[in-house]
């Protein structure tokens, strides 16, 4: 099945691209420039497409990003440290982001005559992001079926929907994903900071998966502190 992958250049979506390339026909990668502070992850998406022989385009939605206020990803707010902090993670939500990006990706899929759009939403995001949960994914696919009725039939593939980030790392290791060619950090430094929510999640996922983490972090041990604080607050 000719498949278009929505790829940010992060660990999850680069692993997804490798999985689709191995199991389906990966034809196209789509990335979004919504005004994120640094473009490093987009460069990793470009390299991923080149490595896998897919075409790649970066769609400029900065004017949309600018209007969806309240997000640490696109605005001046300080990026919070740590993991598991529901209140601070809410700051990093761009309202309706997945619906917007997926709707655009489906439009591109029609133009490219692809049969499927694949996205890397995963179980680890469920607790905070409603647009990463199974009911959203199912409702989105249904909406697209009606939206394109008679014009195109395009499936929505989300193979990580009920998997954890550690599962994704395990799958990536199996597929030979060069993890050092992926980017997670919310901050704009030369290396992963090791302290922001996505760095902590990344570092912990490698730990839980039992896979060596090739990432160079400015603060490689902070994740343990964040994890201890969370476990003290939420005893099993």
Shortest Å distance, C-beta 116 to its own copies? 15
Shortest Å distance, C-beta 69 to its own copies? 5
> How far apart, in Å, are the Cα atoms of 149 and each of 4, 106, 137, 155, 165?
19, 13, 18, 12, 34
> How far apart, in Å, are the Cα atoms of 45 and each of 108, 166, 208, 227?
17, 21, 25, 29
Q: How far apart are CA 16 and CA 5, in angstroms?
A: 8
Which contiguous run of DSSP H or E holds residue 55?
strand 55-60
Residue among 61 and 208 whose Cβ is closer to its own copies:
61
Residue among 97 and 187 whose Cβ is closer to its own copies:
97
Residue among 155 and 211 whose Cβ is closer to its own copies:
155
DSSP of 143-210, one letter per residue? HHHHHTTTT---EEE-TTTT--HHHHHHHHHHHT--GGG----SS-SSSB-S-BHHHHHHHHHHHHHT
Residue among 70 and 189 whose Cβ is closer to its own copies:
70
Residue among 33 and 180 whose Cβ is closer to its own copies:
33
Rg for the chain, CA atoms, rounded: 17
Shortest Å distance, C-beta 150 to its own copies? 6
Shortest Å distance, C-beta 111 to its own copies? 5
Shortest Å distance, C-beta 165 to its own copies? 21
User: 55 φ, ψ to 5°?
Assistant: -75, 165
Shortest Å distance, C-beta 4 to its own copies? 12
| Binding positions for its own copies, rule: CB under 8 A | 57, 59-61, 63-64, 67-70, 93-100, 102-104, 106-108, 110-111, 130-131, 133, 135-136, 139-140, 142-152
- 8 Å CB contact between 40 and 193: no
Residue among 151 and 235 whose Cβ is closer to its own copies:
151
Q: Running DSSP on this structure, what letter comes out for residue 113? A: T
Q: How far apart are CA 74 and CA 65, in angstroms?
A: 7
């Amino acid at each position: 099945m000719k498949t278009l992958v929505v790829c940010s250049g992060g660990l999850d979506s680069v692993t997804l691209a490798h999985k689709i390339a191995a199991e389906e026909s990966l034809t196209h990668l789509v990335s979004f420039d919504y005004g994120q502070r640094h473009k490093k992850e987009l460069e990793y998406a470009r390299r991923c497409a080149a490595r896998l022989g897919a075409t790649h385009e970066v769609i400029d939605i900065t004017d949309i990003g600018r209007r969806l206020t309240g997000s640490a990803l696109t605005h001046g707010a300080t990026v919070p440290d740590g993991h598991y902090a529901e209140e601070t993670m809410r700051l990093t939500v761009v309202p309706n982001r997945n619906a917007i990006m997926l709707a655009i990706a489906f439009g591109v899929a029609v133009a490219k005559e692809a049969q499927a759009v694949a996205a890397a939403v995963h179980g680890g995001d469920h607790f905070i992001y409603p647009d990463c949960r199974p009911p959203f994914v199912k409702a989105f696919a249904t909406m697209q079926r009606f939206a394109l009725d008679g014009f195109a039939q395009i499936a929505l593939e989300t193979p990580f929907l009920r998997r954890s980030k550690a599962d994704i790392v395990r799958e990536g290791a199996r597929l030979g994903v060069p993890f050092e060619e992926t980017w997670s950090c919310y901050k704009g430094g030369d290396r992963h900071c090791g302290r922001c929510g996505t760095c902590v999640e990344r570092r912990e996922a490698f730990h839980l998966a039992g896979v060596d983490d090739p990432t160079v972090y400015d603060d490689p041990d902070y994740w343990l502190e964040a994890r201890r604080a969370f476990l003290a607050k939420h005893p099993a």
